Amino acid sequence: MQANTLSGGFTKPAAQSAHAFRRVLEAMARPGTIQDIEGAAPPAPMSPAMGAVLLTLCDTETPVYLAGDMDCEAVRTWLAFHTGAPFVGPAHCMFAVGSWDALAPLAVYPIGTSEYPDRSATLIVERSELSVKGATLTGPGIKGQTTLSVPDVDAFQTNRKLFPLGLDFILTSGARLAALPRSTKVS
């Protein structure tokens, strides 16, 4: 077992995970805003932002799906050591991580049920960059309208039609993140 695949967790777990949780909460509550998040140093190809989100939100009861390049030995070992989260396929996951292309098609992820809309997957999408230029966002948490660089407008519009069911998205890039909850309208 190599130490370098295990290092890079929170050094002050209580404070850092609380800060990271606040950043994720802010991003979800105000779609389109870009938040800075720090504290984690996961192995490549995972970004620090994605690592911090997973350390904060995952534990032994949240199945994780690693898509594409993310499904490597270094990432598996690191996540297993720090969170204990089980690894599953896309149909049974609570969190799915990977690039936008690797995560497609979106139809395979759980979207919740009418009784329990919260039993749906959250997709954490690794992006090469995040900027406030791009598609127009409207909906709860947005005053008027805002813009964000989203990977695919059609996919978010299809997801929005499933409301109150559907998927939630967290976009990460480097040490920054933004979120697109299912309530946001993308055009």
b/e per residue 138-172 (b: at least 16 CB within 10 A): ebebbeeebebbbbeeebbeebbeeeebbbbbbbb
Min dist. Cβ of residue 61 to other proteins (A): 14
Q: Are the C-beta atoms of 86 and 63 separated by less than 8 Å?
A: yes
Closest to other proteins by CB, 10 or 109: 10
Min dist. Cβ of residue 65 to other proteins (A): 22
Place of tokens 């989260």: 85
Closest to other proteins by CB, 60 or 128: 60
Min dist. Cβ of residue 16 to other proteins (A): 12
Q: Residue 184 and residue 14: Cα distance in Å, rounded?
A: 31
Closest to other proteins by CB, 13 or 164: 13
- Which residues of the shown chain bind other proteins in the complex (CB under 8 A)? 1-3, 6-7, 9, 11, 13, 81-82
Closest to other proteins by CB, 11 or 157: 11
Cβ neighbour number for residue 78 with a 10 Å cutoff:
25
